[in-house]
Amino acid sequence: MATVNLNVVFITIETTRGPVAPGWTQGNLSGVITQTNRVWQQAGIRFVVKQTSSQSVQMPGTSSSAVIDNAGFFFLQSHVAPQGRITVGLVNQVAGSATAGLATVGGRFTLQPHRGIAQNYKPLVLAHELGHILRLAHVTSSSMSPRERLAATSNLMTPGIIRANPVLTRPQIATAKASATRRRAPMRRSR
């Protein structure tokens, strides 16, 4: 099984009205990662939190809340995420009613909100965003047959649909495994 290290940052957004903390704890993070790994077990990939930290960030143009939009995401990506690491940023809320998380395909930074989605959906949103980090794009229905569209509703990478037991196709698993192998945690030498 490929093990991929995660760097998790609890991001407090400094606004003109004061700091807005994410409201996450180490305890609920552990539960989310465990459930996220259940989704990725089908691909033989396991995510491990290797480092947690807290960071206070003054966002440009943030006046009264910690709602992150695309501009804020790219700001955090460049100011919070170290090169070469997958960083999961935990914030209060992602802008847009249909947006529950953000990541770039093949990137190093994924963002998971505290508010805006139900607690039991958070592991699935994180699993989806980590799929982007492992070079998986959205599954779109524009060129699919009706049968393929039906199958896509249970796929992890279909945007806007959260299923209890999402699946990945064989090509998706192959792509994610190849990417995870490149990002694999260093093996410890046995003595």
CATH of the domain at 13: 3.40.390.10
Per residue in 145-183, pLDDT tens?
777 767 777 899 988 777 888 999 899 999 999 999 887
The SS3 call for residue 78 is: helix
In a domain, 18, yes or no: yes
Cα 111 from Cα 24, distance rounded (Å): 13
- Res 128 pLDDT > 70: yes
Query: What does the pLDDT look like over 67-98, one tens digit per residue?
Result: 888 888 998 998 898 888 899 999 888 887 77
Residue 72: inside a domain: yes
Q: Are 36 and 85 a contacting pair, CB within 8 Å?
A: no
pLDDT given for residue 184 in this prediction = 59
Task: Say which amino acid occupies 72.
Answer: G
Average pLDDT for 48-52? 93
What mean pLDDT comes out for the span 26-31?
86
Q: In total, how many domains does the chain have?
A: 1
Structural domain including 42 reads 2-139+170-182
Percent of the chain beyond pLDDT 70?
91
pLDDT at 3 over 50: yes
- Does residue 62 lie within any of the structural domains? yes
Q: Is residue 191 part of a domain?
A: no
Task: Please report whether residue 24 resides in a domain.
Answer: yes
Residue 147 located in a structural domain: no
**Is residue 37 predicted with pLDDT exceeding 90?**
yes
Residue 131 belongs to a domain: yes
Nearest 5°: the CA angle 87, 134, 160 is 90
pLDDT at 141: 66
CA nearest to 177, candidates 44, 68, 70? 44
The residues, ordered by sequence, that sit 6+ positions from 78 with a Cβ below 8 Å of its Cβ are none
- Helix %, strand %, coil % of the chain (to 5): 35, 25, 40
Model confidence at 186, pLDDT cuts 50, 70, 90, reads: very low
- Three-state SS at 142: coil
Position 145 in a domain: no
Question: Scanning the structure block, which residue is given the tokens 């935990």?
Answer: 90
Residue with more model confidence, 31 or 160: 31
Instruction: Check whether 188 has a pLDDT greater than 50.
Output: no
